[in-house]
Structure 1
Amino acid sequence: MKSNKWYLVWAGLCFMGVVSLLYVYRYSPVTLTIAGIELKKIGNPDLSSEDLAKSIELDTIQTLRKDVVSSIDSAKAKVNTQVDSNAVELASYSPAPIVADSAVNDSTHHRVLLLGDSEAGGIKNILNDYCRSNGHKLVATIEWYSATSLNFAKGDTISKIIARYKPTYIFVLFGLNEVLARDGANRRALAKQFHKRLRKVPYAWIGPTNWGQDYVVTDAFRAAADSAAFFSSKSLVLPKSTDGRHPSLAGYRIWMANIANWLQTSARWKMKMASPTRAGYPRKFRTIILNAAEYRGY
């Protein structure tokens, strides 16, 4: 009996030791490999452009998975030869057809995906408050810094992300980096090409704020979007941050309030977006951070 007790004590100490080592490894800068396989750490859900670029090259978005791969064979398989189910999802995923705005009532609880540039990064937390307060769920945001219509239209990154998260409503918010562009025909062509990637999911296309002279980009986006699905921001007077380009926090709140009012009254696909009952809801959405200088997407 005494011997058995010592075995239990010894087993308990071993278990605690393993847990302690895993905890220390979680916060250490060291990366361990076993039999050539990297031992992954449980960490920040945000993804970098380098991580996503590797996934896109393999026609997969492995780093977006929340589930744990339990198969020993798949764990031993090298990443460069791994077959992902995303390709099947991309081919088979067919969202419900877009319905008339009168059929999308205020009781709909949407899965919201935010696609955009740096302005998407500025508005995401405020959008999250509006979504959570109105029964919607912001599932993911894509912040593609320095990106233009070229990045969003040319590559299949956006198509893959939409297929992965299966949103029922998409917020589109980019164009800040091209308000000074003057090539109207080219911007219209790119905007139409991007529009095809929305895969017939209801959406709200939000034009960029105006920090200079918006020559053609807002008009190009409006022409590519469905009727009443585009919200122009070029005439809004918003407080600016210190860089003189992006809105300040107060500016983002004013901007979102205007967008929310439009969504409930005039948008093609209306959705419930009353002012949130409070600010600072938990941020349970996934953030994907890209940089066009490092990852073009095409």
Structure 2
Amino acid sequence: MNPYRDALTLMRIPFSVYLMPVFWFALSVLQQVNISRAIVVFLILHLLVYPASNGYNSYYDRDEGSIGGIKNPPKVNRQLMHLVILFDVLAVLLAILLSPLFGGLVALYLLISKAYSYEGIRLKKYPIISTIVVTFFQGAFTFAMVQVGVGLPLQEVLQFPNTGFAIVSTLFLCGSYPLTQIYQHDEDSSRGDKTLSLTLGVTGTYLFAGISLLAGTAFLLWLYFTTHQYPNIIIFLIATAPVVYFFTTWVISATRSKAAVNYENTMRMNKISSVCISLAFISMMAFKYLYQ
């Protein structure tokens, strides 16, 4: 069973926690949430969909250095593709049982995620296209997919300000996405993958991330203000203060020494931002529940 254990490791299920904020964000803007459906959606996305995408990406990248969530990844084997197919099928079937539309969206997400890595297409080689695709599908598309999964009618999903909140999720992904590539420049170059971070360089990556995160935050706070959700402004600013602090200190350290641009700091940034932003949206839901 060792090959399957290694394959399961490469699915990087714990790494799915870094994509949790979009799930909580999508729920936080709803007036009511069907808890049982929300739990099923969470499990489908974080235990099946995201790991299947991670595994497929690992299968074609065959990284020898650190990857997201694993500092020393095991060797890729054929059992990894077995698990990817199994997770794909289970994800789509379970999603269809919840809602045919949700099942279709999950299937589309899985297909797009494969185009990112598949050697015959490999969107990863094109920095602008890959950034647009990844940030849209992991951001706004997933935001809408979660809401469809929990039962929100499509016409309400596509109404403003809900679409505005969906755009915010993509802006946040624009900030975090290139940071996940910042320590892999040498390995990406050796494979011929011209990632956005490699194109921008280290300084450009930090600048791009900072601008995107600032734009997302400004738009989010404006949406909260115009929809009279004033407590959410305070909650978000307090909860994300550690993210701002770590990002700022990381950038300062990187300007003094390139050694700070490493796997450990990248994962630390991902962990802090994921936990803090998730807590912000969970706190908003709790506040709404207690004071409505």
TM value normalised by structure 2 = 0.26
Higher normalized helix content (fraction of residues) = 2
TM-score where L is the length of structure 1: 0.26
Query: By percentage of residues, which structure has more strand?
Result: 1
